[in-house]
Chains A and B, each alone.
Chain A
Amino acid sequence: MIRALFPHPVLALGLFATSLLMSGSVEPPSIALAAVLALATPQVMRALDAQTIRIRSPKAVLSLAGLVLVDVLRSNWAVSAIILGRRKQQRRSGFIHVPLDLKDRYALAVLAVILTATPGTLWVEYDSATGRLLLHVLDLIEEDEWVHLIKTRYERRLMEIFE
């Protein structure tokens, strides 16, 4: 019964919050509109046959969010320094291959957003057959270090959350 009403609980919650923010009020009409959206839209998703997201570890979500926040701040600083012309001589950019063990599509999507949104790293191509990710790095110092960083900082936590 609950599952029939809420096939995608996370999506429903997100739509509810989005609708409230868009209306900019917590008056009864806005809440009613948000509730209608939250109940109706996930039913449309049935036609798309989308998998339901199951978050296994809310604690890992928070720790991942904190990490990403810190990393985005740090890499903003690093990329700004590069653009402003510091360390022009010895900087080298290039591609690296990262072997990923992550298989869940939502987890991969989140990883793609994290890596691309972080200045300095760019998700270029992922091969789902071999699990190999091609990544472009602006300031490439040590390839193994980057692979280690992505696998221990992001991939491990994403696996805790989704798999």
Chain B
Amino acid sequence: MTSVDLPAWAAVAVGLLALAGAGLSFLGAVGLCSFRTFYERVHAPTLGATLGMALIVVASVLFFTFVEGRFMPRELLIGVFLTVTTPVTLILLARAALFRDRTERGRDETAGDA
């Protein structure tokens, strides 16, 4: 990355965006560990899958627009596919947890899990 002539402001912007995105993903991971119940935990990683992902994608688009000297936002595809596929996993996990609660514990879901 030494031969790349990135303007200083662009380098700073890319760095800040990537760091902010990584920070949000990390916060999601912290939430995943610190929440108490399964259903609460499922909410935390969506931080990294939405705004965290978006910030990193924008940083990447900005970086490669300067490096390649043209606008080809390939990374947008990552955003689209991540947005479409993450809920599939999360809904599957939530339904599995619900099934377990209903069969093993005989718990009514409307009673809440807090």
Interface string of A1-33 (1 = CB under 8 A from B): 000000000000000001001101100000000
Given contacts A117-B46, A123-B87, A124-B98, contact A83 B77 (CB under 8 A): no
A83 to B40: give the CA distance in the assembly, Å. Answer: 11
Residue of A nearest to B99 (CB): A125
Contact residues on A (Cβ < 8 Å of other chain), bracket: 20 to 34
Given A24-B74, A93-B40, A117-B50; A123-B112 close (CB under 8 Å): no
A151 at the interface (CB under 8 A from B): no
| Interface membership of A84, Cβ < 8 A | yes
Chain A's nearest CB lies how many Å from the CB of B97? 9
Question: What's the least CB distance linking A74 to chain B, in Å?
Answer: 10
Nearest CB in chain A to that of B73: its residue: A21
Sort chain B's interface into a size bin: 35 or more
Say yes or no: A94 contacts B114, CB within 8 Å. Answer: yes
Q: Residue B44 at the A interface, CB < 8 A?
A: yes
A24, A92, A113, A120: the one contacting B43 at CB < 8 Å is A120
Residue among A22, A73, A94, A118 making CB contact with B113, cutoff 8 Å: A94
Closest partner residue, chain A, to B68 (CB atom): A24
Give the residue name and chain of the B residue nearest to A137 (CB).
B43
Other CB < 8 Å A-B pairs besides A95-B113, A112-B91, A118-B46, 20 of them?
A: A24-B72, A24-B74, A72-B50, A79-B43, A80-B24, A80-B27, A83-B27, A93-B39, A95-B112, A113-B87, A116-B86, A116-B87, A117-B50, A120-B43, A121-B43, A123-B94, A124-B109, A136-B94, A138-B40, A138-B43
